[in-house]
Amino acid sequence: MATKKKPAAKKPVAKKAAAKKAVAKKASAKKAVAAKGDLAKGPRAGSKSAMLLDLLSGKGSTVEKMCEALDWQAHTLRAALTRLPNGAKVDRTREDGVTSYKLA
């Protein structure tokens, strides 16, 4: 008895095309998010980042005052100071055991 050959499997062309479309869609979504981020000039109004920048502007503020105003612990405040929006820099001063920060 002769055996029948199985028909050759078709290449999954539709799956490849769908995968390419998905990759292209993700890339365009990333570009849109990046463009949206470029439009943002600072933290959202009323956010804790905005409140922190307000406290730091002018004469600056002590760690205790900022922690109380933001309802944060000291280590959380110091971490937030390392990643201020728009690359803002702070100056630290320490007088009589009290640490203060202000925008540079």
- Strand (E) or helix (H) holding 32: helix 13-39
**How many other CB atoms sit within 10 Å of the CB of residue 89?**
8
pLDDT confidence of residue 31: 62
Residue 45 has pLDDT above 70, yes or no: yes
pLDDT band at residue 27, thresholds of 50, 70 and 90? low
pLDDT confidence of residue 39: 45
Angle at alpha carbon of residue 38, lines to 32 and 41, rounded to 5°: 140
Cβ neighbors of 90 (< 8 A, separation 6 or more) are 56, 81, 84, 101, 102, 103, 104
pTM for the complete prediction? 0.57
Give me the mean pLDDT over the 2-18 stretch. 70
**What proportion of the chain, given as a percentage, has pLDDT over 70?**
77
